[in-house]
């Protein structure tokens, strides 16, 4: 029974969430929809880090520490190499 419920719940939530991400974004945000390669580091930082935890302010670590921390997060959160580089650059520039 749990399995049945889950089979309905999981795809249901996925579709609902997917749709909200796709179509519910207001006009001003449509320009945010793009391939990873086209997104700036600030945006990749916001989108990826907030999926699991609150934003850690860029001042939390210094430049070389951020390099190691984002490297660690690449392992934890399955970031691509490109995302890792852009997020690191953004945090190093903003700390």
| Spatial distance between the Cα atoms of 77 and 79, rounded to a whole number of angstroms | 6
Q: Fill in the per-residue mask, 61 to 80: x = in contact with other proteins (CB under 8 A), - = not in contact.
A: xxxxx-xxx-xx-xxxxxxx
- Min separation Cβ 5 and other proteins, Å: 10
- Min separation Cβ 19 and other proteins, Å: 10
CB atoms within 10 A of CB 74: 18
Scan residues 4-33 and list those touching other proteins (CB under 8 A): 6, 9-10, 13-14, 17-18, 20-22, 26, 28-29, 31-33
* DSSP category for residue 25: S
**Taking a C-beta distance cutoff of 8 angstroms, is the pair 70, 24 a contact?**
no
CB atoms within 10 A of CB 49: 18
**Taking a C-beta distance cutoff of 8 angstroms, is the pair 43, 89 a contact?**
no
- Min separation Cβ 88 and other proteins, Å: 10
Secondary structure class of 12 (helix, strand, coil)? helix
For other proteins, the binding residues (CB under 8 A) are 2-3, 6, 9-10, 13-14, 17-18, 20-22, 26, 28-29, 31-37, 39-40, 42-43, 45-48, 50-59, 61-65, 67-69, 71-72, 74-83, 90, 92-95
């Amino acid at each position: 029974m749990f399995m049945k419920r889950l089979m309905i719940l999981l795809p249901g939530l996925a579709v609902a969430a997917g749709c909200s991400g796709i179509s519910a974004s207001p006009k001003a945000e449509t320009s945010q929809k793009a391939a990873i390669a086209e997104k700036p580091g600030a945006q990749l930082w916001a989108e990826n880090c907030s999926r699991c935890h609150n934003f850690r302010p860029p001042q939390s670590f210094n430049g070389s520490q951020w390099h190691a921390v984002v490297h660690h997060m690449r392992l934890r959160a399955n970031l691509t190499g490109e995302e890792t580089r852009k997020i690191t650059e953004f945090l190093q520039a903003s700390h």
